[in-house]
Amino acid sequence: MSAAPWRLRILTWNLWELRGDIAALIEAVEDLQPDVLLVQEAPRFVLPTARLQWFARRIGRRVLLGGAGGRGLAILGTDEVAAQVIRRGTHPVAQTLSDLNSTYPRGVAAVRLSIPGGGAAVVASTHLALQEDNRRHHAEHLAALVRGAGAPVIVGGDLNETAQGAARRFLAPLLADPAAQTEHTFPAASPTRRIDAVLVTEGARVLEARAVRSTDRVEEARLAGASDHLPTLVDVELTGPFRA
């Protein structure tokens, strides 16, 4: 018999290096109850590992990947998800230096998970550059990782461009954005563009996908103060290989 599907709630969020309304940030994550939180702009300066671990404890999650040297990327998960980790790693992506913004370190943080009942899946966090040429190079690197995964891949990130951008169009045959393009995420106070998304490959069955504008305890105005980006949520089901 085939194993029962493993349902995961994935939340991706640019945390603005925890410079916003921390109480709203924590309450929103607690309300949404993600199994996996894919982070961009995690703390990079002044005790980055300690601050990330502090935040993870406050939301009842474990740091699966991230901290000092993590290029501003992190993956947090529940104890259940942590128990399924097979391996983890951060892949640096070189950038062409053209201005001060291009010095921000870029990469892909990825964790490979064992699916209960058999099989595997990869969840990853990424943050594409502000420069179009660097975003395209980053997308090529990400595509190579996806092709080599040998398993369903779920990538959450601040992509710094809409679905019409060159990097997104390059990735589209491999990684689909299941949410409507009207689910805008930036700027948080008055969103007009969808530049944050959770992208999925074949093998991940999407149950729901949306940008989050508010939660049970955090109304729109407070959520807009938690970060300059809104979070994006995707519920997926993953199923291991058929077994007779």
Task: Looking at the structure, give the CATH architecture of the domain made up of residues 6-234.
Answer: 4-Layer Sandwich (3.60)
Stated pTM of the model: 0.96
What is the rounded CA–CA span in Å between residue 74 and residue 174? Answer: 23
**pLDDT per residue of the chain (244 residues) written in tens, 0 to 9:** 566 899 999 999 999 999 999 999 999 999 999 999 999 999 999 999 999 999 999 999 999 999 999 999 999 999 999 999 999 999 999 999 999 889 999 999 999 999 998 999 999 999 999 999 999 999 999 999 999 999 999 999 999 999 999 999 999 999 999 999 999 999 999 999 999 999 999 999 999 999 999 999 999 999 999 999 999 999 999 987 644 3
Burial degree of 5 (CB within 10 A; 0-12, 13-18, 19+) = middle
Question: In sequence order, what are the residues at sequence separation of 6 or more whose Cβ sits closer than 8 angstroms to the Cβ of residue 205?
Answer: 5, 236, 237, 238, 239
Taking CB atoms within 8 Å and a gap of at least 24, the contacts of 52-61 are: 55/15, 55/18, 55/26, 58/26, 59/26, 59/29, 59/30, 60/30, 61/37
Domain assignments of the chain as residue spans, ordered by start: 6-234
